């Protein structure tokens, strides 16, 4: 693995799971070689934001990212932490932890965030709206975050099969909400998210 000068290293960051009713937020950071190009190494593959890809397409892209990345780092923010501190804290805390652990010349985060004080790394960090559609390192981070979070939700599904997290990955589908009505919630549900989603669901189905 070739070592880049720190000033040339760009760490892209993205998250998965923010809008789900259950399960953690997973934040990923990815560093790619400066000359990296998906067109060169994956010419026949589909390269898009993780939410626009099928499971098979995501997995194929993930293999490419794993093969060519210089560094991949993942942080998991638990539901317990989310329920205690709030969803925005969870997102920015995940970004903060990765930035603290990775030495880079620049950190690019997908979206628009009010980040905590990153000290000497403040000037090296920027947020880019739709960065996951424009910047390879950020797009890669989104793919990694999604893949890793789906793996977590599959494992949780084995403990709580009634919620069908193997297919809905904790999101507020009709069947997930119906299961919550029937079985109640568990410790992996985001309390405020469930309360709001159930209220809307019940109102629409009156």
At 25 the pLDDT is 98
Domains of the chain: 6-154 (3.30.420.10)
Q: Which two tokens stand for residue 9?
A: 């290293």
What are the average pLDDT values for consecutive 10-residue runs of the chain, which has 206 residues? 62 96 98 89 79 86 94 97 96 96 94 92 94 92 96 98 97 95 96 91 64
Q: Which two tokens stand for residue 172?
A: 């507020």
> How many Å apart are CA 125 and CA 145, to the nearest integer?
19
Summarised one tens digit per residue, pLDDT across range 66-120 is 999 999 999 999 999 999 999 999 999 999 999 999 999 999 999 999 998 999 9
14: three-class secondary structure by DSSP: strand
9: three-class secondary structure by DSSP: coil
> How many Å apart are CA 79 and CA 82, to the nearest integer?
5
Element (H, E) at 22: none
């Amino acid at each position: 693995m070739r070592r880049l000068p720190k000033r040339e290293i760009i760490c892209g960051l993205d998250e998965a799971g923010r809008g789900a009713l259950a399960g953690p937020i997973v934040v990923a950071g990815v560093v790619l070689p400066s000359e990296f190009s998906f067109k060169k190494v994956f010419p026949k593959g589909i390269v898009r934001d993780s939410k626009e890809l099928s499971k098979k397409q995501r997995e194929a892209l993930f293999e490419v990212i794993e093969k060519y990345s210089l560094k991949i780092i993942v942080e998991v923010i638990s539901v317990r932490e989310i329920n205690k501190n709030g969803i925005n804290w969870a997102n920015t805390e995940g970004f903060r932890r990765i930035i603290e652990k990775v030495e880079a010349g620049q950190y690019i985060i997908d979206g628009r965030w009010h980040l905590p004080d990153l000290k000497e790394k403040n000037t090296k960090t920027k947020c880019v709206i739709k960065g996951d559609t424009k910047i390879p390192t950020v797009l890669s981070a989104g793919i990694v975050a999604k893949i890793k979070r789906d793996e977590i939700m599959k494992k949780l599904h084995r403990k709580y099969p009634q919620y069908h997290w193997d297919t809905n990955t904790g999101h507020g589908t009709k069947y997930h909400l119906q299961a919550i009505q029937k079985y109640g919630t568990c410790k992996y549900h985001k309390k405020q998210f469930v309360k709001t989603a159930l209220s809307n669901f019940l109102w629409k189905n009156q």
